Amino acid sequence: MRLGAVGGVGTACAPSLQPPSVDLVQVRVTALGLTSGQAQVSLQVANPNTRGIRLYDVDYAVDVASSAEPESWILLGEGVTEADIVLPAEDTVDIEIDLLFSYAAIGAALRSLFRTGEVDYRVRGRTDGPFGDVNVPFESAGRFGPFSTRPPPP
């Protein structure tokens, strides 16, 4: 998956940055309640740039593809991290994020998982970028299964 808009951030004296690539590695349920739960999501983020990138205050949401309606997404969960995320130049970093999810949305993911063995997902949100209070939106998609992760077909 690609964080689409990070590369578009810039000022007159700042070089354009390529967006990092992000792969969803693992999802682990950490808490269950009456109507919702929490999961820890492991991401692998690769920075293709020759300079490091620092991101602040990442707001994110994870959607799963609807099996009932093509091209439709169902909100699985969302979260916020206030930790600084440092992506070293031309390197890969493992990042853990917490995802709050509702049981109502789990049904769509389970139907897809049982039918095909994989779930199409989309991660979207915004972060403050390396140039202060610039709002950087991002959106990316992929396919996750218990035995593999790979990008969705074109």
DSSP secondary structure of 53-70? EEEEEEEEEEEEE-SSST
Residue with tokens 């039918």: 115
pLDDT of 30:
93
pLDDT of 131:
54
User: Is the model's pLDDT at 18 over the cut of 60?
Assistant: yes
* 149-153: long-range contacts, CB 8 A cutoff, minimum separation 24: 149/23, 149/24, 149/25, 151/1, 152/120
Cα separation of 138 and 123, whole Å? 8
pLDDT (tens digit per residue) in 74-120: 898 888 888 788 889 999 999 888 988 888 778 878 887 888 888 88
Contact (CB, 8 A) for 101 and 76: yes
Chain centre distance of CA 148:
16
pLDDT of 25:
79
Amino acid at 67: S
pLDDT (tens digit per residue) in 135-152: 566 777 888 877 554 554
Contact (CB, 8 A) for 96 and 42: yes
- pLDDT bucket at 69, cuts 50 / 70 / 90: confident
Question: Topology of domain 6-150, per CATH?
Answer: Immunoglobulin-like (2.60.40)
Cα separation of 75 and 88, whole Å? 31
Contact (CB, 8 A) for 127 and 110: no
- pLDDT bucket at 129, cuts 50 / 70 / 90: low
- What three-state secondary structure class fits 131? coil
